[in-house]
Structure 1
Amino acid sequence: MDRWQAMQIFVRVAETGSFAQTARILHMSAPAVTRSIAALEVLIGARLFVRTTRSVKLTEAGGRYLDDCRRILADMLEAEASAAGSYATPTGMLAITASLRFGQMHVLPIMTEYLDAYPSMSGRTFFVDRPVNIVEEGIDVAVRIGHLPDSGFTAIKVGSVRRVICGAPAYFEKHGIPSTPNDLKLHRVVASTSAWASPEWTFAGGQRVTINPTLQCNTNEASIATATAGWGVTRALNYQIGPALAAGELQIVLTEHEEPPLPIHILYPEGRHAPAKVRAFVDMAVSRLRANRLLN
């Protein structure tokens, strides 16, 4: 048995919670994954997983072994990368994910600057408005908006954004400015039905208002464009409407009722053992995003 490979398979099964999914990710057969874990359990002399028809969960011994495996594998990868020179010099492909509009507006310019700085690198962006499993998708670095669950990944805060209510000045001149969140029920509301959308909008102090939108749009861009045209009010993250605000095309209202800002983090799995390509991008992204006045 190749213990190095078996440890890699074990860690991936622990992360995915699935033998079949691990097999797909590692381009192996499901029986081969099962045999590898079984051989590892025989070698160690302890059960690593509790298997049911619906789930695969770590045993107590498996949880302890997972921590040790991650440390050992990271040390081995660092040693190999150092010997090959890739730990010191960015090489290869860098895959980045972020939400669609934030990625296009703020991450893509950093990526192109990074590729200009390191001509031997190539890049891949994955900008989508849904949660992405960075392990399964083969992502090196993620930029996340919102509070993070405990994942064991390295997270660096680079800024924050506000969730705001906005509309065109001409709309407010005609229909008046809402003074409380409940006043939104008297206005034409344009709501996004994207993956992050909710029919219940939250405000300061935990106040919640159920919105019955006059118009529903399947993208944030469409709802913002409709509000910019003066047709109604919408909710957006302040960075999304930065250009329209600067041009005077949109106006933010109910600022005193806004909920606390949402943090922005750069997230990556390897921590201090990250290869040079990741560390170089993270350093650049932290600097650029923290300097962006729209995000602070």
Structure 2
Amino acid sequence: MDKIALMRVFVEAAERESFVGASQRLGMSAPAVTRAIAQLEGSLGVRLFNRTTRRVRLTESGNRYFQDAKRILEEIEEVESALLGVYREPKGILSVTAPVLFGRKYIVPILIEFLDRHPEIQVKAVFYDRVSNILDEGLDVAIRIGNLKNSSQFAVRVGNVQKVVCGSPDYLSKHGLPNHPADLADHQIIQSSAVEPSTTWWFESSEGKTSVRVSPRLQFNQNDSAISAVKSGYGITRLMSYQVGEEFQTGSLVRILQEHEPEPIPINIVYLEGLRASAKIRSFVDLAKVRLQNNLLINHQIKP
């Protein structure tokens, strides 16, 4: 079996974490898949899988080889399609990551539209509030909120978000509207550690930067819970504008201290391969770019 054929067997086994699954997909026997993997490992001189009786998992070397092998196979398919003059429909498994609430509110609808457009695509979405290494974790595309640090990644800026202070109309009518960050000392504070891990909140205005130390009476590690609490009228909180954009539009929350908000925070779509990215990645990035750039809730254009 030539190296390209061995790569195809390896990629199928890696994606399914199963030699049996790969054999069923490729129309081979399970022993044939095992022999192919052994042949590939022998030629490379490294172990690609850790094997147990139930499943197989990539080793660190195997994970790195998987990224390159997958890219090479996709490039071969694109070259062959171009040679035949045939438009290559995006296909395969697309893996996307985003912050939890951002993914739920804004990325899920884009993923569903993408799947409707491309019937040969499958999507694996992983949402968590941490910065993942898309290469090490085998991800294709990441939505990043914040300034980018890795210059080796390709990025498309699609908008901005803002840290916003807000409260419910009912709470503000009873307790008054803060006109300056220092006024927060007279209010009940709800804190989401996912947005504000510190009890020192920083603000900016034409007069410069200022900080206020708050004393939260209610603290959460999840943004959803903070949103529920502030909507119930318990107090004032600070969140990201995209997390409460719908509430601002409906009037269930009021944006306050807007003239003291810090600088906007960028939103980027990040991927690794730039112009060499596969059709599935390019197609998703193009769609997500349009949808996110046109979404006023995540482009710092929310009206208070």
Smaller-chain TM-score bracket = 0.7 to 0.9
Amino acid across the alignment from 2:79: A
> Kindly tell me: are residues 223 and 217 of structure 1, through their superposed partners in 2, closer, same or farther at Cα, counting changes over 3 Å?
same
Provide the identity percentage: 39
For the residue of structure 1 that corresponds to 2:212, the secondary structure is strand
What is the deviation of 1:77?
Answer: 5.8
Moved more, 217-226 or 73-82: 73-82
Matched, 1:27 2:27: no
Flag structure 2 segments of 5+ consecutive residues without an equivalent.
Answer: 8-47, 51-55, 300-304
What is the deviation of 1:29?
Answer: 8.0
Residue-by-residue CA offset, 1:5-54 (whole Å, 9 max, x unaligned): 9xxxxxxxxxxxxxxxx987983488x99xx9xxxxxxxxxxxxxxxxxx
Residue-pair matches, total: 241
1:1-296 alignment runs, 5 A limit? 27-28=58-59, 79-85=75-81, 88-194=88-194, 197-204=197-204, 205-296=208-299
What is the deviation of 1:210?
Answer: 2.6
Moved more, 104-113 or 200-209: 200-209
> Kindly tell me: are residues 259 and 132 of structure 1, through their superposed partners in 2, closer, same or farther at Cα, counting changes over 3 Å?
same
Amino acid across the alignment from 2:215: N
> Kindly tell me: are residues 195 and 226 of structure 1, through their superposed partners in 2, closer, same or farther at Cα, counting changes over 3 Å?
closer
- Answer yes or no: is the 8 Å Cα contact 1:192–1:218 preserved in 2: yes
Provide the residue aligned with 1:56 in structure 2.
none
What is the deviation of 1:198?
Answer: 3.1
What is the deviation of 1:78?
Answer: 6.5
How large is the RMSD of aligned CA atoms in angstroms?
3.1
For the residue of structure 2 that corresponds to 1:252, the secondary structure is strand
Inter-partner Cα distance in structure 2 for 1:29 and 1:78? 22
For the residue of structure 2 that corresponds to 1:203, the secondary structure is strand
Inter-partner Cα distance in structure 1 for 2:268 and 2:291? 13
- Answer yes or no: is the 8 Å Cα contact 1:130–1:195 preserved in 2: no
> Kindly tell me: are residues 96 and 29 of structure 1, through their superposed partners in 2, closer, same or farther at Cα, counting changes over 3 Å?
closer
- Answer yes or no: is the 8 Å Cα contact 2:190–2:229 preserved in 1: yes
Inter-partner Cα distance in structure 1 for 2:258 and 2:165? 8
What is the deviation of 1:91?
Answer: 1.1
For the residue of structure 1 that corresponds to 2:132, the secondary structure is coil
Amino acid across the alignment from 2:255: I
- Answer yes or no: is the 8 Å Cα contact 1:130–1:196 preserved in 2: no
- Answer yes or no: is the 8 Å Cα contact 1:191–1:235 preserved in 2: yes
Moved more, 142-151 or 153-162: 142-151
What is the deviation of 1:196?
Answer: 6.4
What is the deviation of 1:280?
Answer: 0.3
Inter-partner Cα distance in structure 1 for 2:280 and 2:142? 14
For the residue of structure 1 that corresponds to 2:244, the secondary structure is helix
> Kindly tell me: are residues 124 and 294 of structure 1, through their superposed partners in 2, closer, same or farther at Cα, counting changes over 3 Å?
same
Inter-partner Cα distance in structure 2 for 1:198 and 1:136? 30
> Kindly tell me: are residues 29 and 245 of structure 1, through their superposed partners in 2, closer, same or farther at Cα, counting changes over 3 Å?
closer
Amino acid across the alignment from 2:146: G
Residue-by-residue CA offset, 1:118-176 (whole Å, 9 max, x unaligned): 00110011111111111122110011111111331101100111110000111111111
Inter-partner Cα distance in structure 1 for 2:169 and 2:60? 61
Amino acid across the alignment from 1:248: G
